[in-house]
Amino acid sequence: VADRYPGLVVRSFFIDRIVHLAEEGYDVAVRIAELPDSGLSAVRVGTVRRIVCASPAYLAAHGTPRSPADLAEHEAIPFIRGPSTRDWVFHRGGRTETAGPRVRLIVNQADVAVAAAVAGHGLTRVLSYQAAAEIRAGLLQVVLQEFEPPPIPIHVVHQEGRRASARVRALVDFLAEGLRADPTLR
């Protein structure tokens, strides 16, 4: 994109909340959420899963949970954003089940939760892309996959609709192409 638009300046901010594009001065955003009805234009680029994972060493020492009820016997490292509950919600066969694992450490950043899980401190629940490298490397194993909630959609959004400037369209296309090519976002 920079080659095609040499004057383009990309300001990249990683914000863990819904940003009001017009009010806060942003042209484009990547949203990981169901989109409400709004005046924004959106391009769906993938999905992520909410996964529960732990290190192989932790699972060898404490056993592998086979159902959400088994979490009561495990240590957890909840990744919590804002005033949220520590309970984890699971789905299977149209039923919803809530589990409250024992809490060892509460963190507000996914990378800290992933690092603690890799170190063997317990199970954590994060978005699939947040632990993808550790899973690929064999440092973490995903458990309770059959109880995962539905995947969360990922969209590139902008406010200009069909009248979007060439720079905004180019950035949206660039982001969409790159995100769609990422195998962790499927």
CA distance 81 to 75: 19
**pLDDT value of residue 161:** 65
Pick the CATH number of 21-48+151-185 from 3.20.20.140, 3.40.190.10, 3.30.930.10, 3.10.20.30: 3.40.190.10
CA distance 91 to 80: 20
Q: What percent of the chain has pLDDT over 70?
A: 95
Of the pLDDT bands very low, low, confident and very high (cuts 50, 70, 90), residue 11 is: confident
**pLDDT value of residue 4:** 74
The pair of three-digit structure tokens given for residue 32, joined into one six-digit string? 């990981």
Predicted confidence (pLDDT) at residue 91 exceeds the cutoff of 70:
yes
Predicted confidence (pLDDT) at residue 116 exceeds the cutoff of 70:
yes
Same fold, 21-48+151-185 and 50-147: yes
pTM: 0.85
Identify residue 180 by its one-letter amino acid code.
R
Q: Exposure of 73 by Cβ count < 10 A (0-12 exposed, 13-18 middle, 19+ buried)?
A: exposed
CA distance 177 to 171: 10
Q: The domain 50-147 belongs to what CATH superfamily? A: Periplasmic binding protein-like II (3.40.190.10)
Predicted confidence (pLDDT) at residue 37 exceeds the cutoff of 70:
no
Instruction: Pick the most confident of 3-17, 18-32, 57-71, 95-109.
Output: 57-71
